Amino acid sequence: EVQLVESGGVVVQPGGSLRLSCAASGFTFHDYSMHWVRQAPGKGLEWVSLITWDGGSTYYADSVKGRFTISRDNSKNSLYLQMNSLRTEDTALYYCTKASSSGWLNFDYWGQGTLVTVSS
């Protein structure tokens, strides 16, 4: 059974930093690209970042570019999101998602999310 378990979400002050983690199990982690998607309270879904299977390529939404860094450790089946210079608008539930194996990109598995609150 595929499982994605996020952790690391807390309350942090504006300008602060945070690292989110996602522990993956039930699939061959190093074979798949992984993504972070976020959802502000009461709002829609926003794609945040992508890392390829080997960590060789990373991509970011313009809203987080230069502040967030996605990484992975395939030896630990783990995905990370380093979040720096946090803003109030970064407050959201952050989901770790797995890219499917089909030739058509989609997110076939999601974690339960970890809540990041940026507030003074």
Partner 1 sequence: DIHMTQSPSSLSASVGDRVTITCRASQSISSYLNWYQQKPGKAPKLLIYAASSLQSGVPSRFSGSGSGTDFTLTISSLQPEDFATYYCQQSYITPPYTFGQGTKLEIK
Where do contacts with partner 1 occur on this chain (CB under 8 A)?
Answer: 35, 44-47, 50, 59-62, 95, 100, 102, 104-108, 110-113
**Which lies closer to partner 1 via its Cβ, residue 60 or residue 74?**
60
**Which lies closer to partner 1 via its Cβ, residue 13 or residue 89?**
89
Question: Residue 57 Cβ, how far from partner 1 at the closest point, in Å?
Answer: 10
Q: How far apart are CA 93 and CA 106, in angstroms?
A: 19
**Which lies closer to partner 1 via its Cβ, residue 62 or residue 120?**
62
C-beta of residue 12 within 8 angstroms of C-beta of residue 94: no
C-beta of residue 89 within 8 angstroms of C-beta of residue 81: no
Question: Residue 100 Cβ, how far from partner 1 at the closest point, in Å?
Answer: 7
Q: Which of 69, 35, 26 lies closest to 53 in space, CA to CA? A: 35
Query: What is the amino acid identity at position 52?
Result: T
